Chains A and B, each alone.
Chain A
């Protein structure tokens, strides 16, 4: 039996070398990249954006590690320099364009959404049920493909206009 076990292991390893051609990518690297795409296809209400910076806040446990910093270093969005902030508490939240709400905040979600209401902040999450509860864009995955759902109604309430192309790719709830 021990012969067979090792042979199976060898076959698995060698086969894996070939399968690598399939090129899977890191879940959070892809989510970080999507954030820029969302920003490009969302219009913020007049006067709601800051003049100098495009601010992205991450509230709660940071699932991106340093991916956001690495990807958005020296980049611009809406002709503004991108600044990333990581916060643990709602009290630290200041004026911003995008707020990524981590899974760790699901028991505070109502408070967070209350405080971002009508402030022109695009809220993004990646936790089951977030879009139903009022988060504007929520990631989910099916069979290793990243997808997202859009709560268009709540986005409209916040004064955000989501481009039809983005609505086509997302699941509207």
Chain B
């Protein structure tokens, strides 16, 4: 458990995350992102230092989960679903060729 707000990330980890996210980042941006990400992770890690023994998870009330009955739908007006899409062909979203 770290008490430091800094979490030391490897540059390779940043590159890996960027690749998984399909992001192309310049080397100088990578170093800034490495420090920012490390600070965020360090901050969150502080929370793991709290003693939560005996504190029940708030998501679990012990009761059965409430589920959705069928018969409810939020409908979109025709064409609305592609209105914000970068590209579309009639009702279909259009993206660069994928194999």
Q: Do A and B bind each other?
A: no
